[in-house]
């Protein structure tokens, strides 16, 4: 049992049991996407030691595999650095996972997206100043500025946003989570391509 406390906010309660994820082509693709985003600086570790960025793929109707907590420093993840989120509840603010590491502290947000749209197969969360500012400036969807990340309020805000969107993939800014961006869609390839394209756009101008 572990209660995440970060930036003074109490996050969800997590229960973890040992075990490992079943490796798949989806996870292979997710890991490749992650390494590419790491090389672009969209995933990594801030100077204060806090890691950022996390990715997941849906494995069935109610479960998904997500990068483990505190893995931001690794360029290429090993199987042991992924966790299966077996169940979660936004209402009770709990996450139950299987794997050697705790599931990412943003697991609840990922879960809210999968729950909000059954067609979603992949969720990617990155941090980037230029892209974050541009998304907000250009009127991309965004969660409210007064909703901090990792809280039930964020999970509900994300779910409302997801239910209001038509079509996939979608990219949105977490206005209350500085530099926080989420992309989600049907599969790893389409989500990665969308995010990568938008990031390239900030580099060309
Ligand atoms: Zn974040």
Give whole-number Cα distances, 157 to 79, 109, 119, 136, 190, in Å.
Answer: 31, 9, 19, 16, 24
Q: What is the pLDDT of residues 69-86, one digit of tens each?
A: 989 999 999 999 999 999
- Please tell me which residue, 120 or 90, carries the higher pLDDT value: 120
At residue 109, φ and ψ (nearest 5 deg) are -65, -45
Spatial CA neighbour of 184 closest among 27, 40, 50, 54: 54
Give whole-number Cα distances, 3 to 10, 19, 50, 52, 102, in Å.
Answer: 7, 21, 17, 19, 11
**DSSP-derived secondary structure for 45-59:** E-TTS-EE-EEEEE-
Instruction: Dig out the tokens for 139 from the structure.
Output: 């009127």
What is the reported pLDDT for 5?
Answer: 45
12 Cα to the center of ligand 1, angstroms: 15
174 Cα to the center of ligand 1, angstroms: 9
What is the reported pLDDT for 125?
Answer: 96
124 Cα to the center of ligand 1, angstroms: 10
Q: What is the pLDDT of residues 12-50, one digit of tens each?
A: 788 999 999 999 999 999 999 999 999 999 999 999 988
Token pair 């109610």 is found at 62
At residue 197, φ and ψ (nearest 5 deg) are -60, -45
170 Cα to the center of ligand 1, angstroms: 17
166 Cα to the center of ligand 1, angstroms: 24
What is the reported pLDDT for 148?
Answer: 82
The mean predicted confidence, pLDDT, of the chain is 92
Spatial CA neighbour of 110 closest among 42, 191, 183, 163: 183
Query: Using an 8 Å Cβ cutoff, are 93 and 152 in contact?
Result: yes
What is the reported pLDDT for 1?
Answer: 47
What is the reported pLDDT for 205?
Answer: 64
Mean pLDDT of 168-173: 98
Q: What is the dihedral of CA 135, 138, 183, 3, to 10 degrees?
A: 50
Domains and CATH numbers, the chain: 2-204 (3.40.225.10)
Going by pLDDT thresholds of 50, 70 and 90, the confidence category of residue 10 is very low
Is the pLDDT reported for residue 174 higher than 70?
yes
- Please tell me which residue, 1 or 96, carries the higher pLDDT value: 96
Query: Using an 8 Å Cβ cutoff, are 34 and 26 in contact?
Result: no
22 Cα to the center of ligand 1, angstroms: 26
- Sign of the CA dihedral with 194 first, then 195, 199, and 205 last: positive
Q: Which residue pairs from 84-90 have beta carbons closer than 8 angstroms and sit at least 24 positions apart in sequence?
A: 84/19, 84/21, 84/59, 85/56, 85/110, 85/111, 87/62, 87/63, 88/12, 90/115, 90/152, 90/155, 90/156, 90/159
Residues near ion ligand 1 (Cβ under 5 Å): 180
Q: What is the pLDDT of residues 133-154, one digit of tens each?
A: 999 999 999 999 998 877 888 8
pTM beyond 0.75: yes
């Amino acid at each position: 049992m572990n209660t995440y406390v970060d930036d003074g906010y109490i996050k969800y309660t997590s229960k973890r049991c040992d075990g490992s994820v079943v490796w798949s082509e989806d996870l292979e693709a997710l890991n490749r996407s992650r390494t590419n985003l790491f090389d672009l600086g969209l995933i990594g570790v801030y100077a204060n030691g806090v890691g950022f960025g996390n990715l997941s793929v849906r494995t069935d109707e109610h479960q998904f595999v997500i990068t483990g907590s505190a893995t931001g420093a690794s360029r290429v993840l090993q199987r042991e650095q992924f966790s299966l989120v077996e169940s979660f509840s936004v209402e009770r603010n709990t996450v139950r996972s299987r794997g050697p590491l705790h599931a990412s502290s943003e697991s609840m947000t990922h879960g809210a997206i999968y729950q909000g749209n059954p067609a979603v197969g992949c969720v990617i969360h990155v941090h980037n100043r230029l892209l974050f500012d541009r998304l907000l400036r250009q009127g991309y969807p965004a969660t409210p500025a007064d909703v901090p990340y990792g809280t039930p309020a964020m999970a509900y805000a994300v779910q409302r946003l997801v239910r209001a969107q038509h079509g996939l993939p979608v990219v949105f800014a977490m206005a209350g989570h500085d530099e926080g961006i989420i992309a989600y869609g049907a599969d790893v390839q389409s989500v990665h391509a969308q995010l990568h394209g938008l990031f390239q756009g900030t580099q060309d101008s």
